[in-house]
Amino acid sequence: MHVFTTVSELQGYLQAARFNNQSVGLVATMGALHRGHISLIEAALSENEVVVCSIFVNPTQFNNPEDLVKYPRSEQEDLALLRKAGCQVAFVPLVSEMYPTPSILQMDFGPIAQVMEGKSRPGHFNGVGVVVSKLLHMIMPDRAYFGQKDLQQVAIVEQLIRDLSFSAQLVVCPTLREESGLAMSSRNKRLSDEELKLAALIYQKLAEAKNQLLSGISIPQVIASIEAYFNQIPEFRLDYFEIVDRETLQRVEGLAEGQSVALCIAIYLGDVRLIDNLVID
Ligand code: AMP
């Protein structure tokens, strides 16, 4: 596997690949890789001749400086996992390579960025939009792979690709879960064994809420029962639980024929913020 830290080395390699008519897939990550990330690499490998995995903890998408400092980093293990998966290129730039000068551009994604993660983490999607744009420009992939685990991020990237006419095709991959149902996440590495057990409740309650909705229980009732449940467990602090239209990400009043609805949660377990979602098609 080639490991590049500079854009010019990376582009030199990709130019040769493109000259040989090889298609390129991009998996953008912040490292601390787990099987969820590797499932994106595998999807990319199945559709492209060259797969680039970027590992970059993007400072501009962290609204909470402590979260940035505590974000898990494990570069050597990450590179070993990527080698084992058969990834051809790892792009591991320093902050100074990605931001030779501080980024001034502000990206406003409108209503889809004003709810949930956008509301709780001001500036987050501006940071995501800028860094994903940079990666798409630098790498010019044929396909870019993103996980449904970050459902709102998928909507943002979809709009970014459309509005800025990037040629990459967005491929959305399903959420990989632990046996307990807990969505795999780099942040899970910060949880104690005890907290990991509690964290499994997040998926269990989401699945229960989905079944309640399907059995005809009203949205306000489902929301109230989730809020009441997590409020009585002192280790949890619910940030939001929302039931939204999958495309617009705006709240819905009820289930409608032909509409995809997403149940989205963000919750603190101790000082670790976890997100998850389930979709009803
Ligand atoms: P991150 O390193 O958290 O920025 O994630 C990099 C990519 O991996 C994003 O597109 C995520 O949505 C995706 N991802 C993270 N966790 C999972 C998971 N459990 N299953 C599938 N994809 C995931």
Name which of 246, 247, 233 is nearest 204 in CA terms.
233
Residue where one domain finishes, among candidates 173, 198, 227: 173
pLDDT score recorded for residue 94: 98
pLDDT score recorded for residue 254: 87
Q: Which regions in the chain score pLDDT beneath 50?
A: none
48 lines ligand 1 (CB under 6 A): no
| In a domain? residue 240 | yes
pLDDT score recorded for residue 71: 93
| In a domain? residue 42 | yes
**pTM metric for this prediction:** 0.96
Whether residue 160 is found in the same domain as residue 229: no
Phi-psi domain of 67 (left: phi exceeds 0; alpha: psi -120 through 50; beta: other) = alpha
Residue where one domain finishes, among candidates 173, 199, 221: 173
Whether residue 89 is found in the same domain as residue 155: yes
Determine the angle formed by the axes of helices 75-85 and 35-47, rounding to 10 degrees.
40
H helix runs in the chain, sequence order:
7-19, 35-47, 65-70, 75-85, 95-98, 116-120, 124-139, 151-163, 193-214, 219-231
Which atom of ligand 1 is least distant from the CA of 145? 10
- CB distance 138 to 5 below 8 Å: no
Whether residue 71 is found in the same domain as residue 103: yes
pLDDT score recorded for residue 258: 86
Token digits for 80? 């070993």
Where in the sequence is the domain holding 33, given as residue range(s)? 2-173
168 lines ligand 1 (CB under 6 A): no
37 is catalytic: yes
29 lines ligand 1 (CB under 6 A): yes
User: Any idea what the CATH number is for the domain that residue 196 is in?
Assistant: 3.30.1300.10
221 CA from centroid of ligand 1 (Å): 31
Whether residue 151 is found in the same domain as residue 210: no
Name which of 234, 204, 237 is nearest 120 in CA terms.
237
Whether residue 221 is found in the same domain as residue 245: yes
